[in-house]
Amino acid sequence: MIFEHISSGGCQSYLLGCEKTRAAIVIDPNLHQIDHYPFLAARHGLHIRYVLDTHTHADHFSAAREMGQKLNAGVVAHRLSPAPYAEFFLDDGEKLKVGDITLQTLHTPGHTRDSMCLVAEGHLFTGDTLLIGGAGRIDLPTGDPDALYDSLFHRVLTLDPALLIHPAHDYKGQGHSTLGDEIATNPRLQNRDRESFVAMMKGLDLELPAHLTEALRVNIHGGKPLFQLLAEASDRISFVSAEELSQEWGDAVLLDVRERDAFEAGHIPGAVNLPRGQLELQADRRLPDAARRIVVCCGTGEMAILAAATLRELGFVHTAALRDGLKAWQEKDFPLSRS
Ligand SMILES: [Fe+2]
């Protein structure tokens, strides 16, 4: 079996490939690495046939939906996964064949209701059920410490201790471990009675993930995170810097898309105000020449990127955005007008 471990911050994903048929699967793909998986697969002469999430992630963005669409790969999840873009659902004991590789499913609720572990050729992919030196938190949506106790002590820990452990998260860069090592040393596995395990897990008092709401929106409903919207919009427009804008903008319209209050409190001299909420509705009246050059600005640059991409879509083909917005303009001590 061809095996690649891809680390992205604390998030871990895995590419498994069949040497004979060249079919491959990516386990827990991360949106920030979306271009890296096909690159790795191509380097090994593999075709990614499946992408699989071990559970609904609450702290990062799954690339499963995007990869499924772009690569025509089957999106796999547990039967209880709410993801509307999943096509193949596994339940406890079921097998997934990827070429000659067989992945055996273990339903291991606790971290989330739809958590599963997968066993394949001496490897155990544990998602966030069992981490190296830890266990998945139980305080996020659908978490349940009692269920995690059962999943760990009555399911995972009964497997072959020689299995290599590959978790979905590893914040300390430990790489991999064996189940036997975890049984011997993992602090979360030393409280072997249910009551003390549950009390310990409930008492962890962990900080909530930074992008919890956004990650659940993306991973459960199949939407896009903000960084992806901005990246896609950025690909469709051009940019000008504050220095370039200060030197000349010719006959361009400098369009400030903030709300009127913010505009009146301070704007680039010569700018006209069209709040983003009015953009599509007022574009033809306020910008009658679609061929004219437009530079869009806002406070920090992000709203201008989205607004400029909208104008491009509307047919204003020479639209650019002021990079980093008025923040960059003010950092250079360029003048502001108030009105
Ligand atoms: Fe998780």
Q: pLDDT tens, 248-293?
A: 877 899 999 999 999 999 999 999 999 999 999 999 999 999 999 9
Report pLDDT for 209.
87
Rounded CA gap, 193 and 100, in Å? 40
Return the CATH number at 298.
3.40.250.10
Local structure of 167: helix, strand or coil: strand
Tell how far the Cα of 58 is from the centroid of ligand 1, in angstroms: 6
Residue 236 sits in the same domain as residue 303: yes
Smallest CA-to-CA distance from 168 within 137, 213, 210, 195 is with 137
Question: 275 with 201, same domain?
Answer: no
Using the predicted structure, report yes or no on whether residue 172 has a pLDDT greater than 90: no
338 located within any domain: no
Distance 2 CA to ligand 1 centre (A): 25
Which has the higher per-residue pLDDT, 209 or 122?
Answer: 122
Task: Tell me what pLDDT residue 121 has.
Answer: 96
**Do 184 and 316 fall into the same domain?**
no
Residue 144 lies in a domain: yes
214: CATH: 3.60.15.10
CA dist 81 and 78 (Å) reads 5
What does the alpha-carbon distance between residue 291 and residue 287 come to, in Å, rounded to a whole number? 10
In the block, residue with structure tokens 């995690």: 148
**Structural domain ending residue among the three candidates 161, 189, 221:** 221
Is the domain of 156 the same as that of 279? no
Domain-terminating residue out of 178, 203, 221: 221
pLDDT tens per residue across span 79-98: 999 999 999 999 999 999 99
Rounded CA-CA distance 301/298 in Å is 6
Report the number of distinct structural domains present in the chain.
2
Amino acid letter, residue 325? G
Question: What pLDDT is attached to residue 136?
Answer: 94
| Banded model confidence at residue 148, pLDDT cuts 50, 70, 90 | very high
Q: To which H or E segment does residue 307 belong?
A: helix 302-314
Average pLDDT of span 303-323: 97
Q: Which two tokens stand for residue 333?
A: 């001590």
Please tell me whether residues 116 and 236 are part of one structural domain.
no
pLDDT at 51 over 80: yes
Q: Do 44 and 18 fall into the same domain?
A: yes
Task: Please check whether residues 170 and 245 belong to one and the same domain.
Answer: no
Same domain, 69 and 172: yes
The answer to whether residues 95 and 238 belong to one domain is no
Position 132 in a domain: yes
Q: Where does 186-315 have alpha helices with state H?
A: 194-202, 212-221, 226-235, 242-247, 260-265, 279-286, 302-314
In a domain? residue 166:
yes
Q: Are residues 301 and 209 in the same domain?
A: no
Q: Is the pLDDT of residue 9 over 90?
A: no
Question: What's the mean pLDDT when you consider all of the chain?
Answer: 95
- Cα 175 from Cα 90, distance rounded (Å): 26
Question: What per-residue confidence (pLDDT) applies to 191?
Answer: 80
Domain membership of residue 339 (yes or no) is no
Compute, in angstroms, the gap from residue 284 CA to the centroid of ligand 1: 47
Instruction: Please give the distance, rounded to the nearest whole angstrom, from the Cα atom of residue 133 to the centre of ligand 1.
Output: 15
From 206, 221, 236, the end of a domain falls on 221
What residues form DSSP beta bridges with 62? Answer: 30
Q: In sequence order, what DSSP letters do the residues of 140-154 get, joined into one string?
A: STT--HHHHHIIIII
Tell me how far the alpha carbon of residue 252 lies from the centroid of ligand 1, in angstroms.
Answer: 48
Which contiguous run of DSSP H or E holds residue 244? Answer: helix 242-247
Give me the pLDDT at residue 174, please.
78
Q: What is the CA radius of gyration of the chain?
A: 25
Instruction: Give a yes or no: residue 200 inside a domain.
Output: yes
**Residue 119's pLDDT is what?**
98
Asked whether residue 275 is domain-assigned, the answer is yes
Is a pLDDT exceeding 80 seen at residue 175?
no
- Are both 251 and 163 inside the same structural domain? no
210 pLDDT tier (thresholds 50, 70, 90): confident
H helical segments located in 103-193: 145-149, 179-185
Is the pLDDT confidence value at 339 over 80? no
Alpha-carbon torsion (312, 315, 317, 318), positive or negative = negative
Q: Which domain holds residue 80?
A: 2-221
Residue 337 lies in a domain: no
Q: What is residue 78's predicted lDDT score, i.e. its pLDDT?
A: 98
Q: How far is the CA of 88 from the centre of ligand 1 (A)?
A: 20
pLDDT of residue 185: 95
- On whether both 186 and 244 belong to a single domain, the answer is no
Q: What sign has the CA pseudo-torsion 299, 301, 303, 309?
A: positive
